[in-house]
Amino acid sequence: RKEVEQDPGPFNVPEGATVAFNCTYSNSASQSFFWYRQDCRKEPKLLMSVYSSGNEDGRFTAQLNRASQYISLLIRDSKLSDSATYLCAVMGNTGGFKTIFGAGTRLFVKA
Amino acid sequence: DAGVIQSPRHEVTEMGQEVTLRCKPISGHNSLFWYRQTMMRGLELLIYFNNNVPIDDSGMPEDRFSAKMPNASFSTLKIQPSEPRDSAVYFCASTPDSSYEQYFGPGTRLTVT
């Protein structure tokens, strides 16, 4: 079993739709969680951190469920510019900054 | 502000040749990471350094791969000898101690023929 697993998609949605991605992790002692966005042939960039209480940034909402060991990302009112690959990332509890990334979920938003 | 700098951006080499990838982290960042990304395996952590010291190299595939960080502003990832299965995009990322956010460089696209 991979340490961090995501549905690879692709998700094809029309503009304005709401789309949700889930990501599961295997290490129950993991401490920190993130969503990164990666555009085609570009490097990953941090989209948002994920906090236990959940957090929102504009049209984006991230949630953490420690009991079930998954994190989610909700995108509301999706835009063409949201088309990208979304990577979840999990940082362990072994000290230091070792971060494991999921394989990513591809999103295509269509006009 | 300069971000993470990687060179070369593209490298095409023949099997058996030595390949050296270079990275300059963001000034003041204490941790540096090397990742490899392929369609099949996604983004894999190869090794990371903190304050120039290798902390975890469990992701380094085999003895053909080696990484060094001689000072706070420079790191190399070397593959010797290279093989076609090493073809991938290699990313370097850095992180300040005050944050967990990783700042990625633009990557080096390596093709081994």
Tens digit of pLDDT at every position of chain A (111 positions): 788 999 888 999 999 999 999 999 998 888 899 999 999 999 999 999 998 888 999 999 999 999 999 999 999 999 999 999 999 999 876 666 788 999 999 999 999
Beta bridge partners of A64: A71
Per DSSP, the three-state class of B27 is coil
Q: Residue A52 region, left (φ>0) first, then alpha (ψ -120 to 50), else beta?
A: alpha
- Asked if B100 lies within 8 A of A91 by C-beta distance, the reply is yes
- Asked if B104 lies within 8 A of A43 by C-beta distance, the reply is yes
Q: How many CA atoms does the CB half-sphere of A63 hold within 13 Å?
A: 11
Q: B10-55: per-residue pLDDT in tens? A: 999 999 999 999 999 999 999 999 999 999 889 999 999 999 999 9
- Asked if B102 lies within 8 A of A104 by C-beta distance, the reply is no
Interface test with A, best of B43, B89, B92, B95 (most A CBs within 10 A): B43
Closest chain B C-alpha to A27 CA, distance in angstroms: 16
Of B42, B56, B101, the CB nearest to A101: B42
